[in-house]
Amino acid sequence: MNEVTTINRTQREYSDAVKKALGRKPQLFINGEWVDSSGDATIDVEDPSSGKVISKFVESTDKDVDRAIAAARTAFDDGRWRDMPPIAREKIMHRIADLIEAHADELAELEAIDVGKPKGMAGAVDVPGAAAHFRYMAGWAGKAGGETQAPYAMPAGTMFGYTLKEPVGVCAQIVPWNFPLLMACLKLAPVLASGCTSVLKPAEQTSLTALRLADLIQEAGVPAGVINIITGYGHTAGDRMVKHPDVDKVAFTGSTEIGKLINRNATETLKHVTLELGGKSPVVVMPDVDIAETAPGVAGAIFFNSGQVCVAGSRLYAHKSVFDKVVEGMAETAHFWAPRASLDPEGHMGPLVSKEQHERVLGYIEAGKRDGASVLMGGDVPSNDGGYYVSPTILTDVNPQMSVVREEIFGPVVVAQRFEDLDEVVKEANDTPYGLAAGVWTKDVSAAVRIASRLKAGTVWVNTHAMIDPALPFGGYKESGIGHEQGRLGLEAYFETKTVLMKL
């Protein structure tokens, strides 16, 4: 028996702050208040480290959704937020970030027990990232503007033209379960900076931190109705949000399948739509790399957050001269990534988020084996106390027809392949309907630049992976999305542009 199988995966006791949050009455945050649902259905919160039910929240009814959208509509139309001086909006946004930081420990623990991610990771990545999105976008509140433009086909001095950037309106924002707090903040920050209003729905698997965020938004002084947070299922509450005639824009992060459905549903009323969808991101390792740095790097590219990352480096292409060394080096990280309960301070990887996801990922591993793939590492469920664990897994002897190579697994499973020829590997890397991200590992700067330009992906990393920054735009090529989040482009997605032409 190796160390990985002897780890004690019993979940630790929750802190008092977290117990208090779990004991709250299930309610919705609408028009600046905690309100009861019009119905009495609830959804269970499960700790994926133990499989135990630990709390519950509201399953919103149609009436609840309509009430939240009506609040956001009124708050937008009466100008209580967009007409405020930008300096006041900026201050409130920084206050939200301050409050996130002040409650960092509680938020990290809530995220850990809800998603299954190690508390240390949530505290190092998710929570500071969440605050950073508000701080970055806060700076735009008073800086974005239109331009003056002299007409092109009209005599000079006869007409004066300028553009205005105006908030698009009421936004329906739907986020997934892999980075719940971070995604909620990534969505809400440009809403506040642009002067829009929002109804945000977290995923039904992970609603704890979004609800706690509502408290902080209220405490920071965001006027009533500007941000409304409702919980519930996607096919009911989410669907109603997307189709609602009083919503002007839909911002969604999640699966490509649901993204396509949302895009179709939003068409009826021609809403603005931004979609951040799935991926099957290739990672190309060139022959000149330093193995000691690259092997743990490409392992982290897939095993971080149990592989439940839209940009996970799930297809590894290593040059045949370094392939064996790279996968051996990845296998040496097995102990570092060994799954542990999310409150175990030694942990770097937790369980998967849910039973459904566990079955799905194990189903892919079985399909891979059936198709002839070899399991170089992992592939199993380590001993545990009812949680949804999967060992970090490396599959070799795969080919481009296998489902493990073609489809998004969204788990700690990488398919490792050898290549000889650069043109061939670029072609294979691009042979996917997805185009979210890609990675290149090399010491050769010219090769890095050349390969980066040939990979069809919205983000390409060189000698690193999954590094995301609020100032840099993030978006998908092909079936990985529409539009951008973050950076100036991410803000622009919340504006309409108005042209004013004046006869002089």
Residues with catalytic function:
276, 310
Tokens of 177: 């379960």
Who's near 454: CB < 8 A, 6+ residues apart? 426, 430
Q: How far is the CB of 361 from ligand NAI (least distance, A)?
A: 8
| Binding letters toward ligand NAI, positions 383-412, x by CB under 6 A | -------------------------x-x--
Query: In terms of CB distance, is 10 or 255 closer to ligand NAI?
Result: 255
| Binding letters toward ligand NAI, positions 205-244, x by CB under 6 A | ----------------------------xxx--xx--x--
| Nearest position to ligand NAI, beta carbon | 234
Name the residue among 376, 413, 425 with its Cα closest to residue 396.
376
Task: Determine the length of the chain.
Answer: 504
Q: Is 476 in the site for ligand NAI (CB under 6 A)?
A: no
Enclosing H/E stretch for 257: helix 256-267
> For ligand NAI, which stretch binds (CB under 6 A), given 94-102, 115-123, 252-260, 315-323?
252-260
Q: Which of 75, 203, 247, 466 binds ligand NAI (CB under 6 A)?
A: 203
Q: How far is the CB of 193 from ligand NAI (least distance, A)?
A: 23
Distance (Å, whole) CA 370 – CA 364: 10
Q: Which of 38, 42, 218, 255 binds ligand NAI (CB under 6 A)?
A: 255
Distance (Å, whole) CA 407 – CA 388: 21
Q: Is 351 in the site for ligand NAI (CB under 6 A)?
A: no
Distance (Å, whole) CA 366 – CA 410: 15
Do the strands 459-462 and 495-503 form a parallel or antiparallel pair, or are they unpaired? unpaired
Query: In terms of CB distance, is 346 or 359 closer to ligand NAI?
Result: 359
How many CB atoms neighbour CB 56 within 10 A?
17
Q: Is 297 in the site for ligand NAI (CB under 6 A)?
A: no
Q: Which of 12, 24, 91, 360 binds ligand NAI (CB under 6 A)?
A: 360
Contact 299, 318 (CB under 8 A): no
Enclosing H/E stretch for 116: none
| Binding letters toward ligand NAI, positions 141-180, x by CB under 6 A | ---------------------------------xxxxx--
Query: In terms of CB distance, is 19 or 260 closer to ligand NAI?
Result: 260
Residues in binding contact with ligand NAI, number by CB under 6 A: 27
Q: Which of 30, 262, 275, 429 binds ligand NAI (CB under 6 A)?
A: 262
Query: In terms of CB distance, is 90 or 239 closer to ligand NAI?
Result: 239
Name the residue among 418, 345, 340 with its Cα closest to residue 376.
418
Report helix angle 208-220 to 86-102, nearest 10.
130
Burial class (CB in 10 A: 0-12, 13-18, 19+), 10: middle
Tokens of 176: 């997934």
Look up residue 305 and give its DSSP letter: G
Do the strands 159-167 and 227-229 form a parallel or antiparallel pair, or are they unpaired? unpaired
| Binding letters toward ligand NAI, positions 274-293, x by CB under 6 A | ---xx---------------
SS3 405: helix
Q: Which residues contribute to the site for ligand NAI (CB under 6 A)?
A: 174-178, 201, 203-204, 233-235, 238-239, 242, 253-255, 258, 261-262, 277-278, 310, 357, 360, 408, 410
